[in-house]
Chain A
Amino acid sequence: MTLRKVEILVFLALTLVIAVPARAVASVLEAPFQEADGHDAAQEADEHRQNAGAEHAAEEAELDVVHHNSDSIYLDFSPFAIVELPRIFLVRRADDSIGVDFFWSTHAAVEAGGYLALEQEGDHGGILDAQLEPASGEIIMDFSITKHLVFAWIVMLMLLAAFLPLAARYKKGIGRETAPKGKFHNMLEALIVFVRNDIVRPSIGAKADKYVPYLLTAFLFILTSNLLGLFPFAAAATSNLMVTATLAMLSFVYTMMAGTKDYWKHIFWPPGIPILVKPILIPVEILGIFTKPFALAIRLFANMTAGHLVILSLIGLIFSFTNLFGPVVGWGVVPISVAFSLFIFLLEILVAIIQAYVFTMLSALFIGMAAAEHDHHEESHDHAQASLATVEAAS
């Protein structure tokens, strides 16, 4: 019954992820900085080209930790293969018409002509890391399929594959009228019941069941993609700020929709506060509406990125020590490095689960705060006194 909504929500979330592509946002953010040091750019490019030959050999072996974690336009299965992903551009052509360019890969885009690859300083993937510029006209928005989007889709498919059959089973009555059957069914039901009974219901209260579908979707999506990020060659969609921002935005929308009259009154005209304090408190309350989803997004993103960075940095120590003190010391560092990264890896499994829990819990709490019907303060005072009286009478 609720799975229809689950599908729609996952779909909506991902559409938004496409609509706000990280690359487009990044290019907007970087534009002013590029202009600022534009005069050096040509000179630097020349130097870079001269050094490129010498540095190339060194760069081949370099392990760029940040680059490995950031979003890219190819799936990196090296040393076996690199799978390029389709490039889709919304472009304004030279004659001012707007069109869509579609290529199956970055190489195809360059080989077909019409697109130039601008290599940037610090890139070492060649054409794959280069920024594509059309020979004529300009790119309005870059809708290219990226690594994190692909893994978000994989998570979505995994969830649909697991939960559509489960929904069909519940419709037939297995699990509702009888006990759940089979390991798979029991396992998933345990998760669902955990989210409903331990996270959503205590945080939201009477109207909780209305919000279970969304929060369950968020929980499962985050949990699955966090855990998927720990597999070799895979990436966590949640280590992309745009994905977490989308999830946080959905939580924000739900919070706004859940808001009762009391909630808004407490923000715009907090009762029981001296009138002179109100001008200070009201802006703080309004700011508080927006900082909550912002913190949700950054928290998930930072936690997922930091763990991967630490693991890769610890592995990178082997290479650093080999470069500094020679291969013998390098080999000596291997056991220490592997042991530490294994420890962090196990910690990451814990963090993956905790972050999914925390995101769901906080979303539920925010929705619960907005949805709560406040008693009037005098009444609640009476309540307190009444309950105190009962306690005294009982003792």
Chain B
Amino acid sequence: MDPSALAFLGAGLGAGLVALGTGLGIGRLAGPAMEASARQPEALGEIRTSMIIAAALIEGVALFGLVICIILAFK
């Protein structure tokens, strides 16, 4: 087997795992944020801001993983 096939396999699996992890992370974040803003609509702005910060941090880590997958897939 061509050894680079394993790199492609790794990239594909990695991308899937990245999506899984980020989905779980942002899901856990967004669900309670929705509940909180439904309970207290007047705090909507603040909740949304802090939700976006946290989501951005989670997404940042996911993007690092994704970059590694892209490097694996293209080289």
Contact = CB atoms under 8 A, between A and B. Distances in A.
Interface of A: 33, 202-203, 291-292, 294-295, 298-299, 302, 358, 361-362, 365
Given A33-B75, A291-B60, A358-B56, A202 B49 contact: yes
Contact of A299 (B49, B53, B63, B75): B63
Contact of B66 (A202, A302, A358): A302
A193 to B, nearest CB: 16
B63 A302 contact: yes
A295 B53 contact: no
B52 interface: yes
A295 B60 contact: yes
Given A33-B75, A202-B49, A203-B49, A298 B56 contact: no
B14 to A, nearest CB: 14
Given A33-B75, A202-B45, A365 B63 contact: no
Contact of A295 (B45, B52, B59, B75): B59
Contacts of A33: 75
B20 interface: no
Contact of A358 (B52, B63, B75): B52
B59 A299 contact: yes
A113 B63 CA distance: 44
Contacts of B75: 33
SS of A interface (majority): helix
Given A295-B64, A298-B66, 11 more contacts: A33-B75, A202-B49, A292-B60, A295-B59, A299-B56, A299-B59, A299-B63, A302-B66, A358-B52, A362-B56, A365-B52
A203 B67 CA distance: 29
Interface of B: 45, 49, 52-53, 56, 59-60, 63-64, 66-67, 75
A295 B65 CA distance: 11
Contacts of A362: 52-53, 56
Contacts of B67: 298
A302 B22 CA distance: 14
A295 B53 CA distance: 12
A251 to B, nearest CB: 13
Contacts of A358: 52, 56
B48 to A, nearest CB: 9
Nearest to B74: A66
A365 to B, nearest CB: 6
A305 B5 CA distance: 24
B68 to A, nearest CB: 12
Contacts of B64: 295
A212 to B, nearest CB: 17
B72 to A, nearest CB: 13
Most buried by A among B52, B56, B64: B56
Contact of A361 (B52, B59, B66): B52
Contacts of B53: 362, 365
A294 B75 CA distance: 21
Nearest to A364: B49
A295 B52 CA distance: 14
A298 B60 CA distance: 8
13 contacts: A202-B45, A291-B60, A292-B60, A295-B60, A298-B63, A298-B66, A299-B56, A358-B52, A358-B56, A361-B52, A362-B52, A362-B56, A365-B52
Nearest to A30: B75
Most buried by A among B45, B49, B60, B67: B60
A32 B1 CA distance: 24
